[in-house]
Amino acid sequence: MNIDMLKSEIDTYAQMENLTKPLISIIVPAYNVEDYIGICLLSLIKQTLRDIEIIVINDGSTDKTGEIINLFTQDKRIKVITQTNQGPSMARNAGLDAAQGDYIGFVDSDDWVDENYYETLYAAVTKYDADIGITSILKHKKNRNKYNVIHKREKYVTRLKDKIKICEDKKHSIFYVWNRLYKRNVIEKNKLRFPAGRIWEDVTFSTRAIFYANGIVSVPQVKYHYIEREHSIVKSKDIKEKKIRDKEWVYTDMIKFARRNNIILPDRLNYVKSYWKTPFFKVYTGKYKNKITLFGLIPLLIYTKNEGENDD
């Protein structure tokens, strides 16, 4: 979208009146996303639920991201925080510290959401007094689109194993933070923040949010649009070693948190460092658990390590 078209869209949908107190605070960390940030923010100022604030954290961008963000500041719901580059964890934490809404949403700056996204999520969480509402994720790839997460019906759950199940994607990951609406109280009461300087920071936040939530409701009518791009942090090949170290750190943190709170995690969430296989057996080597299976399906031996035991 060129700048003139973008300005025209902003003029049409920008809200010129100040809000006394927003219902929802939407936190958008942004770093060098000049090709995406306009579409992202347009999807937010177009929301059918108008009683929102949009907190954009310009995390030290060196391209035209800051200029594009500034085009949106005529909308009184846009609040811009400018900081030196500190990564998405600290950007989101800055947004959480500034948030005034009763509910919190996260949107990555290269993604976008349906226009009735927050109105629909808000209706569902208030209907059940749920601490978290969760939606489908449509992943936009270069050649095709597919659902990472799809919810076909509204369902409210309160048991931990059901909360974990309802948050999973097709690969059994539960760790997205941005296809959800959180009651702010559950975040502040439990001092939930993102670990500084870590990749895979969603793991730490999501694990605790799911555990502390009184209930989670799935919302089938709307979806979060996730853009897969080559130069995202997760896709980057330049920081391979850091990604490996941070992934082990956050998964270890998750398992330790589960142990402290007597949470029985599904076996699929055991962090697997490596495995080898034969035509008949697979041997998994995990941080806290080793496992031998027949054909990768039937468990023959599961060995759980003691706290602090060496992996070697």
What pLDDT is stored for residue 199 in this prediction?
A: 85
Q: How far is CA 246 from its chain centroid?
A: 17
pLDDT of 238 higher than 90: no
Q: What's the CATH superfamily of 3-227?
A: Spore Coat Polysaccharide Biosynthesis Protein SpsA; Chain A (3.90.550.10)
Give the pLDDT band (50/70/90) at residue 144.
Answer: confident
| Percentage, residues of the chain above pLDDT 90 | 61
| pLDDT value, residue 42 | 98
CB atoms within 10 A of CB 297: 7
Average pLDDT on 184-198 reads: 94
- If pLDDT is split at 50, 70 and 90, which confidence band does 247 have? confident
pLDDT at 267: 66
Taking the C-alpha atoms of residue 195 and residue 90, their distance in angstroms, rounded to an integer, is 8
User: What pLDDT is recorded for position 271?
Assistant: 55
Q: For residue 285, is pLDDT > 90?
A: no
Q: Which tokens in the block code for residue 101?
A: 């809404």
Question: Whole-number mean pLDDT of the chain?
Answer: 87
Nearest residue to 28 (alpha-carbon basis) of 70, 71, 81, 102:
81
Q: What is the pLDDT of residues 44-94, one digit of tens each?
A: 999 999 999 999 999 999 999 999 999 999 999 999 999 999 999 999 999
Mean pLDDT of 269-276: 60
Minimal CA–CA distance to 281: which of 262, 264, 298, 306? 298
pTM of structure:
0.86
In the prediction, which pLDDT does 251 show? 82
Q: Among 38-47, 109-118, 174-183, 297-306, which stretch is predicted with the lowest mean pLDDT?
A: 297-306
Across the range 114-120, mean pLDDT stands at: 98
Looking at residues 141-160, what average pLDDT do you find? 92
The residue among 50, 47, 53 whose CA lies nearest residue 27 is 53
pLDDT value, residue 307: 47
Q: How many angstroms separate the CA atoms of 199 and 57, rounded?
A: 18
What H or E segment, with its residue span, contains residue 53? strand 52-59
Distances in Å between the Cα of 2 and the Cα atoms of 41, 70, 132, 142 are 14, 15, 36, 21
CB-based contacts of 266: which residues, under 8 Å, 6+ apart?
Answer: 161, 164, 172
Residues 185-198, mean pLDDT to the nearest whole number: 94
Rounded to whole angstroms, the Cα distance separating 95 from 26 reads: 8
* Percentage of residues in the chain having pLDDT higher than 70: 85
Q: Enumerate the domain spans of the chain.
A: 3-227, 270-312
What whole-number distance in Å separates Cα of residue 164 and Cα of residue 84? Answer: 35
pLDDT at 297: 66
Would you say residue 311 has pLDDT above 50? Answer: no
Strongest mean pLDDT among 126-135, 159-168, 297-306: 126-135
Mean local confidence (pLDDT), 272-282: 66
Model confidence at 272: pLDDT above 90:
no
Pick 267 or 140 by higher pLDDT. Answer: 140
